[in-house]
Amino acid sequence: MIFLLNSLDKNYQTKIIKDLSKIISKSPFFTPTLPRFNNPFKIKISNAGKWGWVSNVNGYQYVREHPITNKKWPKIPKSLLFLWQKHCCKINLPDSCLINLYSFPNSSLGIHQDKNEKDLTNPVLSISLGSNAIFRYGENKNKLNEICLKSGAICMLKGSSRLYYHGVKKIQKVKKNIIDTCDFDCFPKDCRINITLRKFEF
Ligand code: SIN
Ligand code: FE2
């Protein structure tokens, strides 16, 4: 797994947060539920791009439309496509952008692999914004490493780490949360946002 811990400066983070607020105004956050048992995740999500990742009683899926508004997902903003082109690939662009919202203090995300994509040789790029995440990752589920992901960090699942297990143990609030500074009603105080760019189709 590749970590670029201080990758994005404050201006770039602010630009992304503005772009996200536009996405959320058209495509509001909703709470996904776990396959089979249908209990709610401890995060909310939304998406941009041709394919949005959702989870419900039927399983994990990539879908074309928001499950509540039934509208197509908004476009992936240029600010995010640029980061993919810089760190992953110039030509092959992502067709999916998952936005995870972690509210402080009760959000977390279970240990999982990203493996619903059709071609697992394409990388996954994720961006952390706002509060800190205590992030766990590793090749072996029973032997995980822990790292603190701060606002502006980029992580990539690429090459031999593409199928690494990972999850978020907890959220730690920070003194000056950049999302709060931007002052958008759609993001709760002290939250963390994680953006995941992926290519679902071939
Ligand atoms: C995810 O694996 O979907 C998100 C990881 C994170 O929030 O850092
Ligand atoms: Fe993941």
Domain residue ranges in the chain: 2-28+43-198
8 Å CB contact between 116 and 125: no
Nearest to 33 by CA among 67, 7, 79: 67
Contact by Cβ (8 Å): 150, 134 = no
Residue with tokens 């058209």: 26
Residue of 2, 62, 109 with the most ligand 1 atoms within 8 Å of its CB, for mutation: 109
Q: Which residue has the tokens 């963390």?
A: 192
Provide CB contacts within 8 A for 161, sequence distance 6+: 1, 2, 139
Q: Which protein residue's CA is at the shortest distance from atom 2 of ligand 1?
A: 167
Q: What is the mean pLDDT of residues 168-186?
A: 97
Distance (Å, whole) CA 184 – CA 166: 29
Decide if 136 contacts 166 (C-beta within 8 A): yes
Stated pTM of the model = 0.98
Query: Superfamily assignment of 2-28+43-198 in CATH?
Result: Alpha-ketoglutarate-dependent dioxygenase AlkB-like (2.60.120.590)
Which pair of structure tokens corresponds to residue 16? Answer: 């992304």
The candidate with the shortest Cα–Cα distance to 151, out of 2, 4, 1, 20, is 4
Q: pLDDT per residue over 46-100, tens digit each?
A: 999 999 999 999 999 999 999 999 999 999 999 999 999 999 999 999 999 999 9
pLDDT value of position 38: 94
Residues in contact with ligand 1 (CB, 6 Å cut-off) = 100, 109, 126, 133, 135, 166, 168, 194, 196
CA of 168 to the centre of ligand 1 (A): 7
Q: Which two tokens stand for residue 150?
A: 């701060």
